[in-house]
């Protein structure tokens, strides 16, 4: 009781305190390491990182080795009238010299397709100006940030799920203990009633009534044990362990109850820390890069430096007669594509506006989540005080009734009512306390403090 009162005094000073259970934190860390979905998100991040590396590589020169060899026959030809041009000249020279030195030359018919021709070279391409490469790299960087934020948001959600499952398991353990304590009391009642009947101070109906009450409590014990098995299995499922593995109990877990800070501070924390904001901001930045890319593709050219060095000629030989080098600067400027480029720009603008609208919607949603979690946790804390007072009163009442019953001063029905009221009060206090712990975890989740 003093602990809860101190809690509310501290609340008045609006000091945020985030208690940590070493046992629970160990389980949370284990769950984060073994969760398959989180591992898959890690692969997504790695994939995006490799895509970023690919985008960065486009800034560097590309070096390739290229070789081709051609054999051809037929196809188009070109006629060279070499004989028609040179034979008259040769004849005149022979007559002048009185000799027959110069031969008769035939006209040449050459096929255009090169036969027995090779081109073997090393080619280097260096982008000199290409805005697509720049904006693609920026977009890939933001997509990496987006995947990292998505993974962090899932970690936050999974942490809350593990905490909540742990609290529910402890609540079922506490419920079992309450029922077992009640079972001991009813068993003692059966023994007392049997002594009363044996001493002719009561009739057999009180024994039957007590045994009926005992059977009811035993049924509650069985249900509580089943609930323990269910919550244990679910908790181990979240940790990717064998479903029957035992779970360590932290006896000081109730110190996980938080001291509230002001609602405005919590909202500010949520707006700053929630990974969903970082995720959508990265998506907006990536789409802005895509918009810039489409705009630059509309108005700017691409310029590359291309250099070749190698051998080229007829016959597959590598000698000084076939070696060559070539350097050129090429420019490509896509001036008109039927309105496609402007359409891409408009599509990027629409996508950007949609993401901006989603960010505003997310802000409203997060603010609502913070207000709801804050009020629910505040109400849960207040309920603990009421449940504690109820349990204390029910316990005192039962102790008095139990003593009077042994002295045969009250009816059996009054004993049952007092005991039932005490059991229900204990269960209510247990449920209320662990519900407050779950609400505290929910509040941590919505402000991304898990």
Rounded Cα–Cα distance for residues 166 and 256 (Å): 12
Rounded Cα–Cα distance for residues 220 and 408 (Å): 28
Domains and CATH numbers, the chain: 2-63+130-307+337-446 (1.20.1600.10), 77-113 (no CATH)
pLDDT of residue 450: 67
**In sequence order, which residues have a C-beta less than 8 Å from that of residue 323 and are 6 or more positions away?**
310, 311
Name the token pair of 19.
């208690």
pTM, to two decimals? 0.79
Q: Is 389 exposed, middle or buried (0-12, 13-18, 19+ CB in 10 A)?
A: middle
pLDDT of residue 397: 93
Q: Each residue's pLDDT tens digit in the chain (450 positions)?
A: 344 443 433 343 343 444 578 999 999 999 999 999 999 999 999 999 999 999 999 999 999 999 999 988 888 888 778 777 878 887 887 788 878 787 888 887 777 888 889 999 999 999 999 999 999 999 999 999 999 999 999 999 999 999 999 999 999 999 999 999 999 988 988 888 888 888 887 788 888 988 898 999 999 999 999 999 999 999 999 999 999 999 999 888 876 676 677 888 989 989 999 999 999 999 999 999 999 998 888 888 999 999 999 999 988 888 888 999 999 999 998 888 778 888 989 999 999 999 999 999 999 999 999 999 999 999 999 899 899 999 999 999 999 998 888 887 888 888 888 988 999 999 999 999 999 999 999 999 999 876
Rounded Cα–Cα distance for residues 29 and 24 (Å): 9
Cα angle 193, 194, 196; round to 5: 65
- E-strand stretches of 48-159: 62-70, 77-80, 108-111, 117-129
3-state helix, strand, coil in the chain (%, to 5): 70, 10, 20
What is the helix (H) or strand (E) element at residue 317, kind and residue range? none
Q: Choose among 163, 179, 178, 168: nearest CA to 232.
A: 168
């Amino acid at each position: 009781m003093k602990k809860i009162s101190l809690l509310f005094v501290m609340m008045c000073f609006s000091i945020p305190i985030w208690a940590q259970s070493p046992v629970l934190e160990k389980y949370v860390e284990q769950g984060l390491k073994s969760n398959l979905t989180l591992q898959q998100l890690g692969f997504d991040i790695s994939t995006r990182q490799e895509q970023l590396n690919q985008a960065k590589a486009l800034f560097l020169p590309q070096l390739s080795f290229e070789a081709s060899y051609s054999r051809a026959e037929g196809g188009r030809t070109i006629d060279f009238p070499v004989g028609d041009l040179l034979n008259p000249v040769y004849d005149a020279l022979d007559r002048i010299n009185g000799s027959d030195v110069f031969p008769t030359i035939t006209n040449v018919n050459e096929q255009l397709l090169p036969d027995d021709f090779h081109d073997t070279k090393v080619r280097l391409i260096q982008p000199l100006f290409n805005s697509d490469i720049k904006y693609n790299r920026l977009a890939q960087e933001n997509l990496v940030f987006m995947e990292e934020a998505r993974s962090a948001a899932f970690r936050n959600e999974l942490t809350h799920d593990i905490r909540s499952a742990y609290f529910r398991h402890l609540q079922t353990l506490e419920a079992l203990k309450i029922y077992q304590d009640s079972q001991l009391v009813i068993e003692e009642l059966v023994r007392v009633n049997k002594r009363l009947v044996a001493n002719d101070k009561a009739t057999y109906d009180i024994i039957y009534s007590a045994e009926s009450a005992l059977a009811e409590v035993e049924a509650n014990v069985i249900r509580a044990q089943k609930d323990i098995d269910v919550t244990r299995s679910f908790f181990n499922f979240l940790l990717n362990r064998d479903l029957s593995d035992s779970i360590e109990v932290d006896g000081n877990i109730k110190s996980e109850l938080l001291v509230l800070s002001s609602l405005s501070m919590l909202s500010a924390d949520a707006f700053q820390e929630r990974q969903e904001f970082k995720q959508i901001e990265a998506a907006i930045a990536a789409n802005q890069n895509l918009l810039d890319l489409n705009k630059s593709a509309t108005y700017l050219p691409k310029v590359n430096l291309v250099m070749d060095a190698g051998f080229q000629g007829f016959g597959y030989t590598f000698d000084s007669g076939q070696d060559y080098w070539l350097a050129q600067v090429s420019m490509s400027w896509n001036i008109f594509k039927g309105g496609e480029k402007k359409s891409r720009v408009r599509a990027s603008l629409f996508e950007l506006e949609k993401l901006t609208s989603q960010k505003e919607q997310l802000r409203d949603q997060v603010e609502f989540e913070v207000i709801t979690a804050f009020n629910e946790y505040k109400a849960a804390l207040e309920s603990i005080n009421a449940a504690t007072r109820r349990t204390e009163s029910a316990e005192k009442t039962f102790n008095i009734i139990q003593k009077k019953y042994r002295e045969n001063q009250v009816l059996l029905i009054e004993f049952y009512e007092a005991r039932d009221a005490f059991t229900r009060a204990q269960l209510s206090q247990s449920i209320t306390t662990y519900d407050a712990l779950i609400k505290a975890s929910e509040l941590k989740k919505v402000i991304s403090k898990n």
